[in-house]
Amino acid sequence: MISGVLKANELSEVGALIHSEKALLMIERDVYWPKWDSPWWYILLLEETGRLAEVPVDAFKELLTCADRQYLKVFPVREEDVDGPVNGYTEVMCFCFLGSLMKVASKLEFDVFAHVPWAKTWLTRYQLPDGGYNCDESAYTGSGKSSLVSTVVMLEGMIEYARFTKDLETFAPNMQKAVSYLVKHQVYMSTTGKEIPDAEWDKVIFPRFYEFDFARGLEVIFDFLLLTGKKIRAVAVERALALLRKKTD
């Protein structure tokens, strides 16, 4: 029986930790949980700190294989979408995981959809009318409102996938809709231009993992503009840029 967490005292230890037999056994058991202490979270940490080259290729390939095996091939939003009871924590791939998986796989030169081909249609199938995504399934039958958090992570994944494959067309409409959603929110505000209650998105967060802050929103918008050569109205990012200047002065 293996214990449920991985622990590293120094960032320099993480690559070897992911390469350990214990890490591989944990991936085979669950590619995601336990949150914050499984190999997946250490892989994200290496990506965010510019040390992705330290991720063992065989461990990441095993993670892709296990993700294909572990998850349902749909994001169930209604009872009739699946047969019988479902564990939403362990059997359903959330959009934050999918977007991050696209990003990391692309940077490691894996075509994520060669390993989880069923997820490719999700980018269109589960994009909400306002242009974003939401890991909360109730949004698809209720409010119809996207999540800034889920949308930013998915957009990051689409951008990195487009860079890796040099295919700017396949997900071009999806990326454009997601950026338009962020622009309508002035990166981190409500659609009415007000701060969102109980959200501290005006703070810079590290490590981000699946967390959202205004700087992450700005970064993904500019990554999209650099990738596509498109333009947006400056007023859409004015408040976020002013906040960034304030933070860096």
Cα–Cα distance for residue pair 225/164, rounded to 1 Å? 16
Q: Is the separation of the CB atoms in 133 and 127 below 8 Å?
A: yes
Residue 2 has pLDDT above 50, yes or no: no
- Greatest Cα pair distance, the chain, in angstroms, is 56
* C-alpha pair distances (Å), 39 with each of 59, 83, 102, 234: 9, 30, 16, 40
Q: Which amino acid is at 206?
A: F
Q: What is the pLDDT of residues 216-239, one digit of tens each?
A: 999 999 999 999 999 999 999 999
pTM for the complete prediction? 0.95
Residue 152 has pLDDT above 50, yes or no: yes
Q: Which residues partner with 133 through β-bridges?
A: 147
* C-alpha pair distances (Å), 99 with each of 5, 90, 95, 170, 209: 24, 17, 6, 16, 11
- Give burial (CB, 10 Å; 0-12/13-18/19+) of 197: exposed
Domain extents in the chain? 125-248
Q: What is the pLDDT of residues 41-72, one digit of tens each?
A: 999 999 999 999 999 999 999 999 999 999 99
